[in-house]
A = this chain, B = another copy of it.
């Protein structure tokens, strides 16, 4: 993460970007966790019961991917796009956490934790945007 912080410091208009580094990290790790959780679910015996969880995992992974990329484009950030994408991502993380929390598999439990943390990080970013807007 230090490298990303130093990149924003070296960025001609990257001063706001430094605050995004932690959120970007939550997003990319949450995306990875969701893909792993989907694959683990597909290996469980009760996979039919886990179909909605697998779908939510991929919804969440795709929302996180779009959001983390937008947060990297700090110089030409469009607040209205970023705000609505953060809202979509927060909702995807919330629903995925809720789906994962229905199951007792350890990979679902860890994935739910990471989704909750990412949901909260999106919330905090939205709060900050409202204050600065």
Contact = CB atoms under 8 A, between A and B. Distances in A.
Interface of A: 1, 3-4, 6-14, 17, 24-25, 28-29, 31-33, 35-40, 42-45, 47-48, 51-52, 54-56, 58-59, 61-63, 65-66, 68-70, 72-78, 80-81, 84-85, 87-88, 91-92, 95, 105-107, 110-111, 113-114
Main DSSP-derived SS at the A contact region: helix
Nearest to A10: B106
| Stoichiometry (number of copies) | 4
B66 A62 contact: yes
Given A42-B54, A88-B81, A95-B80, A24 B32 contact: yes
Nearest to A2: B110
Contacts of A56: 76, 78, 81
23 contacts: A1-B29, A3-B113, A3-B114, A7-B106, A7-B107, A7-B110, A7-B111, A9-B106, A10-B107, A12-B44, A13-B43, A24-B32, A32-B68, A39-B55, A39-B74, A42-B75, A52-B76, A55-B78, A58-B73, A61-B69, A81-B92, A84-B87, A85-B92
